[in-house]
């Protein structure tokens, strides 16, 4: 009890500091962060209680998987919150650059390449990946360029550079693997920090809304939907969506988890941290949940194709970076474009 009281006391002090500082975290975003930490405290407590009750009707394996996911969520929340402590959004962009670099490394390691691909990979890791995030950090003035750098110029370069190496064996397969990794791990994920540079909300009442709250909302909904779909699939699931790819993800869990996520998303709009009203937030939450589930299934299919269980080791007992951001990679571009087109003056 003393630990819980101390946690909430610290949370209150943090929210006060956020409101009085020049950090990316404004008052509304501080409230949203407070909600996240409160939910994490509740989830952590629930997991510990269930783990200490061996007679519980809940499968111990489900409890352990739940606890591991919550631990990963704590880590991601802490890292993002620290990046928000710096007044410039560039710090958050740099954070996502390193996440992309790490995730791409895991992806390429899982998909073996030939000697002729090594110089191409040098350009992919040390030129295209940094260039993408530099353009993101330059803001919406470079939107036209960062939105096409990799899927247009990058993809053409990869194909041409591998051809110049003179190794034609399994050529199409090799360029497809590198392009897929570059697109998913770098290009798609870069749309998450790009949310920080959106401006000009169409609804005047959200004129003072911070984009930090928008990014935090996106990450929260993406991770929350993944967690809820997992739990609901374990508790309610009967019809598996794709048994050969992911035996734990069911239609019942997907629908129930997405529905609960939509309700939570609507409630989060009341914090004032995002430029959506309740029904708009519910719809955007559904979009994030659906795309996140698609990302998880797609990345699971790649793992099954390569005959592995996880991409790496980020949190003890629960996979690597790419395993934790697969939902973000698929949801980020869709969420960014919907927000930019329908909720900012850039879409008019």
Token duo for residue 113:
């390449």
Residue with the bigger pLDDT between 315 and 129: it is: 129
Instruction: Please answer whether residues 269 and 281 qualify as being in contact, where contact means their C-beta atoms are separated by less than 8 angstroms.
Output: yes
Q: 144-158, 205-219, 309-323 — which one is most confidently predicted on average?
A: 144-158
Q: Which residues contact 300 (CB under 8 A, 6 or more apart)?
A: 245, 246, 326
How high is the pLDDT of residue 315?
Answer: 45
Question: What pLDDT does residue 54 have?
Answer: 66
Instruction: Give Cα separations from 335 to 24, 95, 102, 129 (angstroms).
Output: 20, 20, 23, 21
What is d(CA 241, CA 257) in angstroms, rounded to the nearest whole number? 14
- pLDDT surpasses 60 at 9: no
Count Cα atoms within 13 angstroms, Cβ side, for 93.
Answer: 21
Give the pLDDT score at 294.
96
pLDDT at 28: 74
Give me the pLDDT at residue 347, please: 63
User: Which range, of 21-25, 57-61, 253-257, 309-313, averages the lowest pLDDT?
Assistant: 21-25
Give residue 18's pLDDT band: very low, low, confident or very high (50, 70, 90). very low
Among the listed ranges 170-184, 186-200, 206-220, which one has the minimum average pLDDT value? 206-220
Angle between helices 90-110 and 171-181 (to 10 degrees): 150
- Buried-exposed string 72-90: b where 16+ CB fall within 10 A, e elsewhere: bbbebbeebbebbeeeebb
- Residue 57 has a pLDDT of 63
144: Cα within 13 Å, side-chain hemisphere: 2
pLDDT tops 90 at residue 236 = no
Per-residue model confidence (pLDDT) at position 319? 59
The pLDDT of residue 5 is above 50: no
Whether the per-residue pLDDT at 157 is higher than 80: the answer is yes
- pLDDT-wise least confident of 60-69, 111-120, 238-247, 288-297: 60-69
Asked whether residue 19 carries a pLDDT value surpassing 60, the answer given is: no
% pLDDT > 70, the chain:
87
Average pLDDT over all residues of the chain = 85
| Separation of alpha carbons 242 and 91, rounded Å | 39
* pTM across the whole model: 0.85
């Amino acid at each position: 009890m003393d630990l819980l009281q101390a946690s909430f006391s610290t949370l209150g002090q943090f929210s006060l500091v956020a409101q009085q500082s020049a950090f990316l975290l404004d008052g509304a975003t501080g409230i949203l962060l407070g909600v996240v930490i409160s939910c994490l405290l509740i989830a952590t407590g629930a997991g510990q209680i269930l783990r200490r009750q061996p007679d519980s009707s809940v499968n111990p394996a489900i409890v352990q998987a739940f606890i591991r996911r919550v631990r990963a969520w704590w880590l991601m929340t802490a890292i993002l919150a620290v990046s928000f402590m710096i007044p410039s959004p560039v710090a958050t962009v740099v954070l996502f650059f390193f996440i992309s670099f790490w995730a791409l490394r895991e992806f390429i390691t899982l998909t073996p390449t030939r000697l002729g691909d090594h110089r191409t990979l040098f350009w992919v890791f040390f030129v295209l990946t940094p260039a993408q995030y530099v353009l993101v950090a330059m803001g919406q003035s470079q939107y036209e360029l960062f939105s096409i750098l990799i899927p247009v110029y990058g993809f053409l370069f990869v194909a041409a550079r591998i051809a110049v190496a003179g190794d034609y064996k399994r050529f199409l397969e090799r360029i497809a693997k590198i392009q897929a990794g570059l697109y998913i791990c770098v290009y798609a994920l870069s749309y998450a920090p790009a949310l920080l540079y959106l401006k000009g909300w169409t609804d005047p009442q959200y004129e003072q809304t911070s984009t930090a709250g928008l990014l935090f909302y996106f990450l929260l909904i993406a991770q929350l939907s993944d967690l809820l779909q997992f739990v609901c699939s374990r508790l309610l699931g009967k019809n598996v969506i794709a048994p050969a790819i992911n035996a734990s993800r069911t239609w019942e869990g997907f629908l129930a988890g997405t529905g609960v996520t939509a309700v939570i998303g609507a409630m989060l709009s009341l914090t004032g941290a995002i430029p959506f009203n309740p029904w708009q937030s519910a719809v955007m939450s559904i979009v994030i949940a659906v795309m996140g589930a698609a990302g998880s299934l797609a990345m699971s299919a790649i793992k099954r194709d390569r005959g592995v269980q996880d991409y790496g080791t980020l949190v003890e007992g629960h996979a690597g970076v790419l395993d934790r951001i697969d939902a973000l990679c698929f949801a980020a571009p869709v969420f960014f474009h919907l927000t930019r087109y329908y909720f900012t003056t850039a879409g008019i």
